[in-house]
Chain A
Amino acid sequence: MKYRLLAATIVIAASPLLAEVDLTPPESASEAEGLEAWARIYEVASHPRCSNCHTGESDHPMWSGPSYGQARPHGMNIRAGESRMGVEYIPCQACHTTMSEDWENANAMPHTAPRVPMFWQLAPVEADWFGRSSIEICEQLRDPELNGGRDTMALAEHLDHDLILHWAWNPGGNREPAPYSLQEHVDDILIWGVAGMPCPES
């Protein structure tokens, strides 16, 4: 299928919203500490604010979590396509409009779909988290073949740069935020990395 490039309209707004995240790894971390950090990372990864858009092979985003009742695919028959941005069908940004202003109330308005100063999109197919176990997600996240070739620092930096991820802790409306905070989550990623990225056995 042919589709037009969105490049012409790509505007990454000046980023007043880029949170200040401290990316200093701990000097050392034991395997036990690494596993504790992982348990918290899994709470975040499996939380609806994250997993709803980590749908693996499926290009249907999910609606699940306390504010959605029963888990179900995103309404309006929305499909993200191979582009993961809906370019082949309806771009996510047709409704998740791209912010170019730094709105205090961006996601507090009751009528709006969530929005950030970037293109809304699904995570890559490999980052398949929705309904997956702690071990499955852990194995994926530590495998450079499946995590976009990232080491721990790169994972932490990715969390710093990707503004959709920041939204997960500040989703507005009656949506439940992801647990902990962005900084605590980054800290856990760094602890887990320094500990050698241990995964639970069962």
Chain B
Amino acid sequence: MRLTVNGTEHEVDVEPDMPLLWVLRDELNITGPKYGCGIAQCGACTVHVDGFAVRSCQLAIGDLQGDVTTIEGLGTPDNLHAVQEAWIEQQVAQCGYCQSGQIMQAADLLAANPTPSDEDIDAVMGGNLCRCGTYPRIRAAVHAAATKLQGA
């Protein structure tokens, strides 16, 4: 089975019903996407498929259609995505476990809606849980990233 992750093509020998998250973490050693619940309830595993946020624990590799981007491919330390920049400036992360999922979901949110209201943010980010309760900082960072992207 072939898939493209962060611009690199990979070949993996797995059952087609293996969730994309397993393929990323266990087969390709791409460990930015996290396993939180495995049942679509936490968002820690969020990646992009053709730019859209998807819960990688839900997507069977056999059903994958499109290129995958993980947090590793969103930006680089030298060239951060605006959302990553805002996340650092606002010091959003506490333990950090949920944050790659949060950032991938927030990047998708801003691609779809460049000037989200608090209500929009809550509606989109409500599927991404944070045990550390960083929600107020997430909201602030989404607004900050929106401003950066507007200025860009």
Closest chain B CB from A85 CB (angstroms) = 12
List B22-60 residues whose CB lies under 8 Å from chain A. 38-41, 49-55, 57-60
* With A76-B127, A88-B112: A94-B53 Cβ-Cβ less than 8 Å: yes
Tell me if B17 is interfacial: C-beta within 8 Å of chain A: yes
CB neighbours of A17 from chain B (8 A): none
* With A77-B126, A89-B124: A98-B63 Cβ-Cβ less than 8 Å: yes
Tell me if A109 is interfacial: C-beta within 8 Å of chain B: yes
* CA A115 to CA B63, docked complex, whole Å: 11
* A-B residue pair count with CB separations less than 8 angstroms: 89
* CA A76 to CA B126, docked complex, whole Å: 5
Binary per-residue interface labels of chain A (121-156) against chain B in the complex, 1 for a CB within 8 Å, 0 otherwise = 000000000000000000000000000000000000
Residues of chain A touching chain B, judged by Cβ–Cβ distance below 8 Å, are 1-4, 6, 8-9, 11, 75-79, 87-91, 93-101, 103, 105, 109-113, 115
CB neighbours of A87 from chain B (8 A): 112
* With A77-B126, A97-B54: A105-B17 Cβ-Cβ less than 8 Å: yes
| A88 & B127 in contact (Cβ 8 Å cutoff) | no
* CA A158 to CA B5, docked complex, whole Å: 38
| A9 & B66 in contact (Cβ 8 Å cutoff) | yes
* Residue of A2, A79, A97 with highest tally of chain B CB at under 10 A: A97
Closest chain B CB from A170 CB (angstroms) = 17
| B113 & A1 in contact (Cβ 8 Å cutoff) | yes
CB neighbours of A77 from chain B (8 A): 122-123, 126-127
* Residue of A1, A2, A76, A78 with highest tally of chain B CB at under 10 A: A76
B39 to chain A: closest residue by CB:
A111
Tell me if B88 is interfacial: C-beta within 8 Å of chain A: no
| B58 & A97 in contact (Cβ 8 Å cutoff) | yes
Secondary structure call for the A interface: loop
Tell me if B73 is interfacial: C-beta within 8 Å of chain A: no
Tell me if B150 is interfacial: C-beta within 8 Å of chain A: no
- Find A94's partner among B39, B50, B55, B62 (CB 8 Å cutoff): B55
Question: What are 12 A-to-B residue pairs whose CB atoms are below 8 Å?
Answer: A6-B52, A76-B41, A76-B127, A87-B112, A95-B55, A95-B127, A96-B58, A97-B55, A97-B60, A101-B16, A111-B39, A112-B58
Closest chain B CB from A102 CB (angstroms) = 10
* CA A194 to CA B52, docked complex, whole Å: 46
| B126 & A94 in contact (Cβ 8 Å cutoff) | no
| B50 & A103 in contact (Cβ 8 Å cutoff) | no
* With A9-B50, A77-B123, A103-B17: A97-B111 Cβ-Cβ less than 8 Å: no
* With A3-B112, A109-B17: A103-B60 Cβ-Cβ less than 8 Å: yes
CB neighbours of B50 from chain A (8 A): 8-9
Tell me if B120 is interfacial: C-beta within 8 Å of chain A: yes
Tell me if B76 is interfacial: C-beta within 8 Å of chain A: no
- Find A101's partner among B41, B63, B111 (CB 8 Å cutoff): B63
* With A90-B127, A112-B58, A113-B40: A99-B63 Cβ-Cβ less than 8 Å: yes
